[in-house]
């Protein structure tokens, strides 16, 4: 018997699936833009008042527009890079792995590139977690000025550990 891939119905199905590939790429690109934008907007929105107060109206607007242009160009380059990696490493070779930074490192420099990118991300994650702990403890020092600094650090660490113990889904 003929294989299903050789049948006219399968060939028609393959043709019907082709137009969806660009749509998937667009959806992936929009997802990339949404993720990068949400990362940039969070902290920046909290600082807008200070930017306008310290820089003045005209200078603040110029700097914001300039930074928006740089951010736009950066996100465009990242999206192009991810698209290129998706082309260079087909989905069947990725074993279900998403197109992400470690895969980019692997495409650029092989296994050492993947390892370097992974190490950079783990170190960055550790540094950011430490930074956020210090920031949280500094905030608590403002709220509780009479409290011992070491006790505040312990409370912040304890709160973090408690949050890590919360399950993803609560059983009902």
Instruction: Give which of 112, 155, 108, 116 is closest to 133, Cα–Cα.
Output: 155
pTM: 0.53
Measured CA to CA, the distance from residue 112 to residue 8 in angstroms comes to 45
pLDDT greater than 60 at residue 6: no
Give the single-character DSSP code of 99. S
pLDDT tens profile 108-130 = 999 999 999 999 999 998 888 88
Measured CA to CA, the distance from residue 80 to residue 21 in angstroms comes to 16
């Amino acid at each position: 018997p003929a294989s299903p891939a050789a049948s006219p119905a399968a060939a028609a199905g393959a043709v019907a699936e082709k137009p969806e590939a660009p749509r998937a790429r667009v959806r992936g690109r929009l997802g990339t833009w949404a993720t990068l934008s949400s990362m940039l907007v969070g902290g920046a929105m909290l600082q807008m008042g200070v930017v306008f107060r310290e820089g003045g109206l005209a200078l603040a607007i110029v700097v914001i527009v300039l930074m928006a242009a740089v951010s736009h160009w950066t996100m465009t380059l990242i999206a192009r890079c991810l698209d290129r990696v998706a082309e260079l490493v087909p989905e069947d070779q990725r074993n279900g792995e998403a197109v992400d930074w470690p895969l980019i490192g692997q495409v650029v420099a092989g296994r050492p590139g993947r390892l370097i990118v992974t190490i950079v991300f783990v170190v960055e994650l550790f540094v950011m977690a430490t930074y956020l702990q210090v920031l949280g403890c500094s905030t608590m020092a403002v709220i509780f000025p009479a409290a011992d600094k070491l006790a505040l650090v312990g409370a912040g660490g304890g709160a973090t550990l408690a949050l890590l113990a919360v399950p993803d889904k609560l059983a009902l």
